[in-house]
Amino acid sequence: MSCNGAAGPAPAGGWLDGDEQRAWLAYIRVQLRLAYEMNRQLLADSDLSLPDYDVLTALSVADGGGCRSRCWPPRSAGSAAGCPTTCGG
């Protein structure tokens, strides 16, 4: 898109030219590798997956960190059903 808001012609094959597409794909590969390695390291160090860590991080800052699960990690993979939570300031 140009400065005046009009869309210019798209490069042949899509909206990225060759160099841009290579850079974008390299970025995506790095992003995926980083998530893979972070997940692997978290599992090795603390038996938490990266998605588990993301949830715990979000809970720790929600409402000033007042919500905590009393039985984390859940015993059955993918479900914390039946686990009581403590919420409050």
Structure tokens at 54: 């993301």
Decide if pLDDT at 1 tops 60.
no
What pTM was estimated for this model as a whole? 0.55
Residues 25-73: pLDDT tens digits? Answer: 999 999 999 999 999 999 999 999 999 999 999 999 887 665 555 555 5
How far is residue 5's CA from residue 22's CA, in Å, rounded to a whole number?
26
Here the tokens at position 2 are: 């140009």
